[in-house]
Amino acid sequence: MIDTKVKLCGITLDNPIIPASGTFGFGYEYAEFYDINILGSFSFKGTTKEARFGNPPPRIAEGKSGMLNTVGLQNPGVDNVIKDLMPKIKKVFKKKVMANISGFSIDEYVYCCKQISKCPQIGWIELNISCPNVHGGGMAFGTDPELAAKVVKAVKKVITKPLIVKLSPNVTDIVAIAKAVEKAGADGISLINTIPGMRINLKTREPILRNKFGGYSGDAIFPIAVRMVYQVAHAVKIPVVGMGGISTAEDVIEMMLAGATAVEVGSANIVDPLACKKIINDLPRAMKKYNIKSLKDIIGGCK
């Protein structure tokens, strides 16, 4: 009997597959392609206090083994998400959903998290302190252990849901950041976010992206993500959600062996809207191939 269930911060998931924030909208968009209730959960689009139009286009560029994006947290603002979009999510998704929250100050993080925590369908808050595509916020908190701890402590005071802190790979010591947020009260950690990159148009000799730089994601960053998940999972006692270049059932198993309790699938959703469905359907085959009866048993299995 194959068992794909895992438990993330006290909540049981039917499987560890979670579409990553920024690649799955607010869920209902993908419900047009398949029944998204087969997912373990999903992390909805990064949400801020005020509505944001994001960065000017062009804001997507392809790479040989991935893609660059500089969308810039385009979203309708947390109050509109709660009022208009949470009811839409409820119609198509019956499980707990992960709320990805970003901010430009501690006060903004606190406000957004406090408001979204009131929604019954929210299972976890994913605190994004790692976004490289906005100026004046986001990643600034994720590259300094003291700032990261400060925002976590402030948010924990006003929420009732488990707090998962999303870390940036663009640091010298990922373990130091992870330990800081764990000590500050984080219930879990997710990583990695995108890695800054750039493409140049050979004809115009100008950057392809209007913002010049963007966050690189896709297959190329998978080995980096596995390494960082392994390092963090072996350094903290709270669960880790691994992401970065996952596109197959084998990738999921490898990431879980590194120490991930669950995984987030990002760019693969943009390449193929059915990516997560295909991974979930293929998990039993991959588990059988590698003699895995329960996914819970392989978490952190690589020593």
pLDDT digits (tens, 9 = 90+) for 97-156: 999 999 999 999 999 999 999 999 999 999 999 765 454 445 568 888 999 999 999 999
pLDDT of residue 185: 98
pLDDT band at 13 (very low <50, low <70, confident <90, very high): very high
Core vs surface per residue 107-138: b (16+ CB within 10 A) or e: ebbbbbbbbbbebeebbbbbbbbbbbbbeebb
Residue 55's pLDDT band, with cuts at 50, 70 and 90, is: very high
Give the pLDDT of residue 303.
86
Average pLDDT, the chain: 95
Helix or strand or coil: residue 114? helix
Cβ count near 160 (within 10 Å): 9
Fold annotation for 6-298: TIM Barrel (3.20.20)
For the question of whether the overall pTM of this predicted structure is more than 0.85, the answer is yes
Could you read off the pLDDT of 287-300 as tens digits, one per residue?
999 999 999 999 99
Coil, strand, or helix at residue 262?
strand
Give the closest residue to 5 by CA, choosing from 298, 295, 283, 259: 295
Question: Considering only CA atoms, which of 213, 156, 164, 214 is closest in space to residue 191?
Answer: 164
Distance of alpha carbon 216 from alpha carbon 244, whole angstroms: 10
Domain ranges of the chain: 6-298
pLDDT tens, position by position, 199-251 = 999 999 999 999 999 999 999 999 999 999 999 999 999 999 999 999 999 99
Helix (H, G, I), strand (E, B), or coil: what is residue 37? helix
Catalytic residue among 9, 131, 276, 302: 131
119 is catalytic: no
pLDDT per position as a tens digit, 19-54: 999 999 999 999 999 999 999 999 999 999 999 999
- CA atoms of 111 and 89, how far apart (whole Å): 21
